[in-house]
Amino acid sequence: MEIEENRRVGRRQFSAEFKAEAVRLVMSGERGQSAVARNLGIGLSTLHKWCSAARRKENSSSDAAVVGGDKSAEVKRLEAEIRRLKLEQEILKKATAFFAKDHL
């Protein structure tokens, strides 16, 4: 009887360029995920994870750009509101002093 040696099969490592090209093939609509995975010799679930991560990264970067632009407009709006509220506060202080003067 031959003793089989236990060998641990390591995970394959893929370069960032390989992953990006696989995702590009799927995102461009040239081929479906299953066809791309089969042609590249990778698992469908692996390719699906890469595509999901790329979509999340794309969405978060576009959201950050939109939020950054909105923050500037929001800051300007809030500064204008602060100026208006300070002016109203000054008017109310003067009105309170004017009417309080009559009651003293």
Residues 56-91 pLDDT 10s: 888 876 656 555 667 788 899 999 999 999 999 999
Separation between Cα atoms, residue 90 and residue 84, nearest integer Å: 10
> If you average pLDDT over every residue of the chain, what do you get?
82
pLDDT, position 1 = 41
From residue 58, alpha-carbon distances to 17, 55, 64, 100 in Å are: 17, 5, 10, 61
> Quick check: 46 and 33 in contact, CB under 8 A?
no
pLDDT, position 99 = 86
Residue whose entry in the numeric block shows the structure tokens 């909105």: 70
Please tell me the number of Cα atoms within 13 Å of 85 on its side-chain side: 6
pTM to 2 decimals?
A: 0.51
Separation between Cα atoms, residue 10 and residue 12, nearest integer Å: 6
Pick from 6-10, 20-24, 34-38, 63-67: least confident: 63-67
